[in-house]
Amino acid sequence: MAIPFDQILIQTVNGLVNGMILALVASGLTLIFGIMDVVNFAHGDLVMLGAFVGATTIAATGSFWLAFLVAALVIAVFGAALQASTLRPLLGRDPLTTILATFGISLVLQKYALWQWGPSARKIQEPITGQFAMFYLEYPWYRVATAFFAGAIIGAFWLFLKYGRYGIWIRATMQDRIMASAMGIPVPLVHTAVFAIGAAMAAASGVLFGPLGGVTQTMGFDFTLRAFIVVVVGGMGNLGGSILAAIFISLLEAYASIIVSPSQAVIVSFMALILTLLFRPTGLFVPTPK
């Protein structure tokens, strides 16, 4: 069976668009894991909360971009409070403890969203409505814009890590928490700040994703799962690896969905996860550790 070239190209664009949003979610997840060894199972629910805060703000103000900012800020503050109250006391404990704790948080957030916003899905109106012709499809510009926007946020954060005065605090703490502390870096504050940044990135993804997939209180689980696969495939705690893995996994799924249905295409992600764990447990896109 020959696969038409136009389908491959369309799926490449789809894969890249999905991959960039996923990369934004996974960046936060990998960052939080890298710096405090916490696998945040509530990460997708921060995406969901961000999307709801965004939808509510749009309903009140009519401005997508204002909603985007409000959602990121509100969820950043919420994330900071969550980290300081719930995760900070568990730091350094058995990983199972933090997994259970974040899983519990995830359930609480979902039930809160159900109580606060009800069971029906909300739609966020996209701020850019134009379309362009791609073969037989009218492809929305907004989808392309989300990829650029997610890329810009990741790029800005990367520049901050590399050149920002306090970016060095994050990188040093990631490598050696104890020595960072001995160098006068306020490690507990850095942990809280990183969690807040990760939460803001999740919320930003939620608002960006809103017009594409709708906003429901159960949307978080899918993001957690996919981001988790990406973080493992990219190498736990490795930011660059996670971004590459997000694009890689999304492209894989997009191409697979040419042949099988999209819900079956998810299987290739799990295969990638299992193969990575079996043959390259440190991650696909990292040099073999010395």
| Interaction site with other proteins (CB under 8 A) | 165-166, 168-169, 171-172, 175-176, 178-188
Contact indicator for 122, 217 with CB cutoff of 8 Å? no
Nearer Cβ to other proteins (97/181): 181
Nearer Cβ to other proteins (16/172): 172
What minimum distance in Å lies between the beta carbon of 10 and other proteins? 39
- CA-CA-CA-CA torsion for 30, 36, 38, 39, nearest 10 degrees? 10
Contact indicator for 79, 198 with CB cutoff of 8 Å? yes
Burial (CB < 10 A; 0-12, 13-18, 19+), residue 239, is buried
Q: Which residue has the tokens 């850095």?
A: 190
What minimum distance in Å lies between the beta carbon of 193 and other proteins? 14
The Cα 21–Cα 241 span in angstroms is 15
What minimum distance in Å lies between the beta carbon of 233 and other proteins? 21
What minimum distance in Å lies between the beta carbon of 171 and other proteins? 6
Nearer Cβ to other proteins (220/235): 235
What minimum distance in Å lies between the beta carbon of 159 and other proteins? 14
Q: What tokens were used for 41?
A: 């199972």
Classify 62 in phi/psi space as left (phi over 0), alpha (psi -120 to 50) or beta: left
Nearer Cβ to other proteins (93/123): 93
Contact indicator for 117, 45 with CB cutoff of 8 Å? no
Nearer Cβ to other proteins (141/166): 166
Nearer Cβ to other proteins (31/256): 31
What minimum distance in Å lies between the beta carbon of 277 and other proteins? 24
Burial (CB < 10 A; 0-12, 13-18, 19+), residue 259, is exposed
What minimum distance in Å lies between the beta carbon of 187 and other proteins? 6
Largest CA distance in the chain: 63
Nearer Cβ to other proteins (190/196): 190
The Cα 84–Cα 186 span in angstroms is 14
The Cα 92–Cα 112 span in angstroms is 29
